[in-house]
Amino acid sequence: MDFVTLAGLIIAFSSVLLANWLGGGEVILLLNLPSAIIVIVGSIGATLIQSSIQEAIRALVLIKWSLFPPVYDFHSTRASLNNLAHKARRLSLLALESDVEVLGKSFFQSSLTNGN
């Protein structure tokens, strides 16, 4: 889980608890199941009214992505880019054509073939 996501969740829940405490309420009053259902399901329903099914599915995917982000290997990508830059500088840009199939990564392939 990303640190910023975790910090956001902690801040959000802390603000609710602080507002309840400042208002003189007890913490147990926040654990009212019917009220939680109204807020959570009502919010989901209001969001679905405003969006298409594709957007709703994409939102679920993004929630998963924000809680468990993908891990990228920046070191090897940087090394590959550095090697390609040196080869292009020493030989020419046309010398990189043979590397398009060898790299096998869509980022490099689209970069070396004008984005097509």
Regarding whether 60 and 81 lie in a shared domain, the answer is: no
> Is the CB of residue 96 less than 8 Å from the CB of residue 88?
yes
pLDDT value for 1: 61
Q: For residue range 18-64, list pLDDT tens digits in order.
A: 888 888 877 777 778 888 889 889 988 888 888 888 998 898 899 88
Regarding whether 62 and 28 lie in a shared domain, the answer is: yes
**What whole-number distance in Å separates Cα of residue 87 and Cα of residue 78?**
14
Its pTM stands at: 0.41
Residue where a domain stops, chosen among 67, 84, 103: 67
- In which domain, by residue range, is 28 found? 3-67
Q: For residue range 86-110, list pLDDT tens digits in order.
A: 888 888 877 777 777 777 667 777 7
**What whole-number distance in Å separates Cα of residue 19 and Cα of residue 11?**
12
How many domains is the chain built from? 2
Which two tokens mark 98?
A: 């043979």
> Is the CB of residue 62 less than 8 Å from the CB of residue 47?
no
**What whole-number distance in Å separates Cα of residue 96 and Cα of residue 57?**
39
